[in-house]
Chains A and B, each alone.
Chain A
Amino acid sequence: MTAIARELDPERRDVDVSTDASTARRPGRDLRGPGRSPRRSGYAKRTPGDWVVLVVAVLLGFFIAVPFLLILVNSFKSPADYNTSGPLTLPTEFYVDGIVAFWERVDFPEKLWNSVFISGLVAVFAVLISMLNAFALGIGRVKGRLWIVVVILLANMLPQEVLLYPLYFMFKQVGLYDSQWAVIIIFTVIQSAFGTYLLASVYSTFPKELLEAASLDGASRWQILWRVVYPISRPTLSVLLIFFFIWTWNEFLIPLTFLVSNGTQTVPVAITVLQGDRLMDVTTTSASALLGLIPTLVFFLIFQRTLTRGITAGAVK
């Protein structure tokens, strides 16, 4: 998913540059020199070097997209078609039975809701906790903050296989095994570890003048956080929100372990139902992968638009 994000991000900004009339504030524009509209400079001044970069970028984009394209092509192929022509050709007919079969077999809407529920809550909680932690570490400058960050980051650095058994025993003890809350709590902690690390370093460069001005005006710490720090860092927080959502969505091992009952399972866990002991069903598996991928893509595209606006609107003037 991060690859797609990287790929789409600059493109989106580009679109915004050319459509948004009030771009004067953007620092990026200054580089293009005065007196030229951004649109014209984009086309007239392309040097051979630019073209090389463009071609390389397109090629790179293509290779990143290949697995996705394969999934797309094979999702709409009948097994017979696949058997005769292999995975690389276009389907001869528009075949949706694979998608329908998977949808019904795993009760897809239920899995979709579970995934949205878990990923959504994790994203919100983790952003909140990251912000509070980072406020203390980055702006509050707690003693020994480096070591605190290192300890927090352990949650990210340890492979999940290592965490699995301790977590299993802990959650069994408190009666949350086979509960979505176990997964929500675990990922809130794991994601907020990364969020804390990132935000703490962002906040450590936070303009001192703003904070001082706020305290001179008599703002309490709580007010500084919500009235000054939060609005200014909101774009960063939104990016974190998106990543936490997508990362949690794609998690497999921990949901697989903790969500025992079918009714609680997420989309990636449901997809494994198609892999048998020795056989695999390529077309249905592709269909399931497609169904699993679409929601994150939609989520990303929807939020990406609001986000790019947010990045420019929230900056310090």
Chain B
Amino acid sequence: MKHTRTLATAASLAAAALILSGCSGGDAGGDENTLRLWHYEGADSAMGIAWERAIEIFEDETGATVEFEEKSFEQIRSTASQVLNSDEAPDILEYNKGNATAGLLSSEGLLTPLDDVVDEYGWGDLLAPSLQTTARYDENGIMGSGSWFGVPNYGEFVQVYYNKDAFAAAGLEVPTTFAEFEDVLQAFVDQGVTPLATSAAEYPLGQLWYQLALTEADRQFVNDYQLYENPVDWEGDEIGYATETVKDWVDAGYISTDASGLKAEDAGVSFISGDAPIFYSGSWWYGRFTNEITDFEWGTFLFPEAELSPGSAGNMWVVPERAKNKELAYEFIDITMRPEIQALLGNNGGVPVAADEADITDEKSQELIANFNALNDMDGISFYPDWPTPTFYDELNAGLQELVNGTKSPAEVQQQLGEQYQSGVDDIVG
């Protein structure tokens, strides 16, 4: 009866497991002196380091304990609306900005409006206007106006990364005008190098396309495109220029036609490995490049002659409506906005929203933060091309893939994107 034993063993193991685990359900914990905190930044990332210090300060100053859990981005993204509607809701969490995330939850009443607290602590003065856009949502959950529902603690923006060694070897200077930038690209092509690392299967080429449109645009275009203030002209100067230029750059060999099948990771790796000397992408790569690029010098600059660039406030602190210790949560947010924590964030490769440049001691980080502050001073943060509608990210990538492949002309791509954009916006605005 050997086989009976196998199943019997399985059954008794199960029974033992039952007893051992007892009641393993989580304790919701509503202790007055405990702050339940969730975020999804890795412990050795800039935010992870800075916030860990903030937790220490918070515990010292308030005497409260912090019950911190590192969540996955995926988990918060896909289960936040359920969790925040239950007794398991934490007191404070890092949550994704945007209409489909924070906007949606705020319109469902799951997030605490922070207007009074923002006034009381003066966070509004620390954040540039374009950084506030993603923190405020109206009653329909559309960003840009209405009550405060979150407080961003870090920023992000898109810039040009370049390989200093490759530039020096080719005798090239950092371009300051758009014409010079194209000259640099041409110089690399003349040497048989494809200069731009990019990918059309994911966000990098979409952001480059948007950046090209922004070089021809003003703030009103951004408001129209992102906040639906006026209809966007998809045959107009801005978008026409962007689409045509991407096409020209592909034809000129600045962008490889292989880009249509590449992912962001591939593009980043081709810059890290030194294959491509220029990479136009976000500040989120900064920490990784610092750690992983060891065999050449690299630097960054803002897109030449651009007064507007893609970027935004980062993900932000939100306080669930069902949080049990809201006051503690506010105090914690305030600590993370202090110059000390902001400087720590900046010195570890992050982009602080409220740092004094003088506090930044790390030389490389100074460059990054100076770029961000320069962009902020111009009020140049212009968000991302895929923000306006929930499906536009995939639509834009698909359109640009066809442009890179040459299966569609710029005019056709533009027309298709325009229709997709408009139908998505119509669904939102009604």
Could you tell me which A residues sit within 8 Å of B by CB distance? 79-80, 82-84, 86, 105, 116-117, 120-121, 123-125, 168, 172, 176-181, 231, 234, 237-238, 241, 253, 256-257, 260-264, 269-270, 272-280, 282, 306, 309-310, 313-314
Instruction: Look across to chain B and name the residue whose beta carbon is closest to the beta carbon of A280.
Output: B265
Question: Would you call A178 and B315 a contact (CB within 8 A)?
Answer: no
Question: Would you call A282 and B75 a contact (CB within 8 A)?
Answer: no
Instruction: Look across to chain B and name the residue whose beta carbon is closest to the beta carbon of A253.
Output: B78
Question: Would you call B75 and A261 a contact (CB within 8 A)?
Answer: no
Question: Would you call B21 and A117 a contact (CB within 8 A)?
Answer: yes
Write the nearest CB–CB distance from B95 to chain A, whole angstroms: 11
The segment from B2-10, B54-62, B318-326, B345-353 that touches chain A is B2-10
Residue B129 at the A interface, CB < 8 A?
no
Could you tell me which B residues sit within 8 Å of A by CB distance? 2-4, 6-7, 10-11, 13-14, 17-18, 21, 24-26, 28, 40, 42-43, 69-75, 78-79, 82-83, 86-88, 96, 203, 264-265, 269, 272-273, 282, 284-285, 288, 291-292, 294, 315
Write the nearest CB–CB distance from B46 to chain A, whole angstroms: 12
Write the nearest CB–CB distance from A277 to chain B, whole angstroms: 5
Question: Would you call A234 and B3 a contact (CB within 8 A)?
Answer: yes
Question: Would you call A178 and B26 a contact (CB within 8 A)?
Answer: yes
Question: Would you call B40 and A276 a contact (CB within 8 A)?
Answer: yes
**Residue from A237, A269, A275, A277 with most neighbouring chain B CB atoms (10 Å):** A277
- Docked Cα-Cα span, A172 to B265, in Å, equals 39
Q: A177-B87, A256-B74 are in contact. List 13 more A-B contacts (CB 8 A).
A: A86-B269, A105-B42, A117-B17, A125-B14, A178-B28, A180-B24, A262-B70, A262-B71, A275-B74, A276-B40, A277-B73, A279-B284, A280-B265
Write the nearest CB–CB distance from A113 to chain B, whole angstroms: 9
Would you list 16 pairs from A and B whose C-beta atoms are within 8 A, ordered by A residue? A82-B269, A83-B273, A168-B82, A177-B88, A178-B86, A179-B25, A180-B21, A256-B79, A257-B79, A263-B26, A272-B72, A273-B72, A274-B72, A275-B72, A277-B73, A310-B6
Write the nearest CB–CB distance from A196 to chain B, whole angstroms: 18
Write the nearest CB–CB distance from A3 to chain B, whole angstroms: 24
Interface residues of chain B: helix, strand, loop or mixed (majority) = helix
- Docked Cα-Cα span, A253 to B77, in Å, equals 12
The interface residues of chain A lying within 8 Å CB-to-CB of B13 are 120
Question: Would you call A83 and B292 a contact (CB within 8 A)?
Answer: yes
Instruction: Look across to chain B and name the residue whose beta carbon is closest to the beta carbon of A176.
Output: B25
- Docked Cα-Cα span, A295 to B358, in Å, equals 52
Nearest first, the 3 closest Cβ-Cβ pairs linking A and B are A179-B25, A261-B26, A272-B72
- Docked Cα-Cα span, A275 to B13, in Å, equals 34
Question: Would you call B18 and A121 a contact (CB within 8 A)?
Answer: yes
Given contacts A176-B25, A261-B69, contact A83 B82 (CB under 8 A): no
The interface residues of chain A lying within 8 Å CB-to-CB of B83 are 260
Question: Would you call A79 and B26 a contact (CB within 8 A)?
Answer: no
The interface residues of chain B lying within 8 Å CB-to-CB of A172 are 86
Instruction: Look across to chain B and name the residue whose beta carbon is closest to the beta carbon of A116.
Output: B17
Write the nearest CB–CB distance from A286 to chain B, whole angstroms: 13
Write the nearest CB–CB distance from B152 to chain A, whole angstroms: 13
Write the nearest CB–CB distance from B426 to chain A, whole angstroms: 26
The interface residues of chain B lying within 8 Å CB-to-CB of A178 are 25-26, 28, 86, 88
- Docked Cα-Cα span, A253 to B74, in Å, equals 11
Question: Would you call A262 and B69 a contact (CB within 8 A)?
Answer: yes
- Docked Cα-Cα span, A80 to B88, in Å, equals 40
Question: Would you call B24 and A264 a contact (CB within 8 A)?
Answer: yes
The interface residues of chain B lying within 8 Å CB-to-CB of A241 are 7, 10
Question: Would you call B82 and A238 a contact (CB within 8 A)?
Answer: no
Instruction: Look across to chain A and name the residue whose beta carbon is closest to the beta carbon of B75.
Output: A256
